[in-house]
Amino acid sequence: MKEQIKQQAIPGIIGGLGPLAHIELERHLIALNQARGACCDQEHPVWFLINATDIPNRTQSIIGEAENCTPWLVKYAKILQTAGADFLVIPCNTSHAFYDQVQPQLNIPWIHWMQSTSLFIQTHYPEYQNIGVLATTGTLKTQLYHQSLTALGLNSIQPSLNSEVQNQIMNAIYHPIWGIKATGIQVSAQALEILVNATHWLANQGAELVIAGCTELSVGFDYLTDLPLIWVDPMKIMAEITLDLAWGYCAI
């Protein structure tokens, strides 16, 4: 950066959902800020982070098999708020199922991933109307992406909740041995094969683009190059928005 730009707002990040999610977000924040010209410590924004790995499983919470996540999210968001964060970012798609219960209890805005991703697609890919979504069963059950996409006049295409395609996506994320939550960035061949097959399935259903609607899926898609569809990474989109808000390029 040729001129030192004064930071205008401090992001607060609830990480640990899963343990790789905030690391991927921070990786994008640093890389994208470097692409904007940052070349030393002082040219990167300050942010606050909590690694909140004790928050109950979001999908299990949604279907009633785990404790309600709302009080946990509120607790950690208020810690960040008290520390001085000006806005909240949670790198976990499924956590946004609790957005309507959490946001009214805060004095700072929680930046909504699905709305931001849908607007990005409408702006940058106006030629596409049929948008594929791969996500956890919890995210699909709450129709978070479906609602945000249809609000902008876009069609969402996603696996049925109990379909073989969706069951395999859940395995790619949660399998205790080769799922991405278990392997981290060393994504297994089994998980990658599932992502390729699911993307081909979406293409056969008429999808023109696919959203990696889970932070673990973003990690997996990063390894894939020969896909039938363009894929969009909400993690990278939110990193760009986080930087824009932090530097004051857009209003909170």
Q: What tokens were used for 175?
A: 């399998």
Q: State the DSSP H helix or E strand holding residue 181, giving kind and residue range, or none if neither.
A: helix 180-183
Q: Which two tokens stand for residue 11?
A: 């992001």
User: Among this protein's residues, is 69 annotated catalytic?
Assistant: no
In the three-class reduction of DSSP (H, G, I as helix; E, B as strand; rest coil), residue 231 is classed as: strand
**Catalytic: which of 39, 40, 69, 92?**
92
92 tagged catalytic: yes
Q: What is the DSSP letter of 157?
A: E
C-alpha span between 20 and 156 (Å, rounded): 27
Q: Positive or negative CA dihedral for 92, 95, 96, 101? A: negative
The whole-angstrom separation of Cα 162 and Cα 137 is 9
Closest CA to 223 of 200, 190, 182, 177: 190
User: Number of helices (H) and strands (E), helices first, in the chain?
Assistant: 12, 7
Q: Judging by beta carbons within 10 Å of its beta carbon (0-12, 13-18, 19+), is residue 126 exposed, middle or buried? A: exposed
Terminal Cα-to-Cα distance of the chain (whole angstroms): 23
Instruction: State how far the Cα of 197 lies from the Cα of 168, in Å rounded to an integer.
Output: 10
Q: Which residues are catalytic?
A: 92, 214
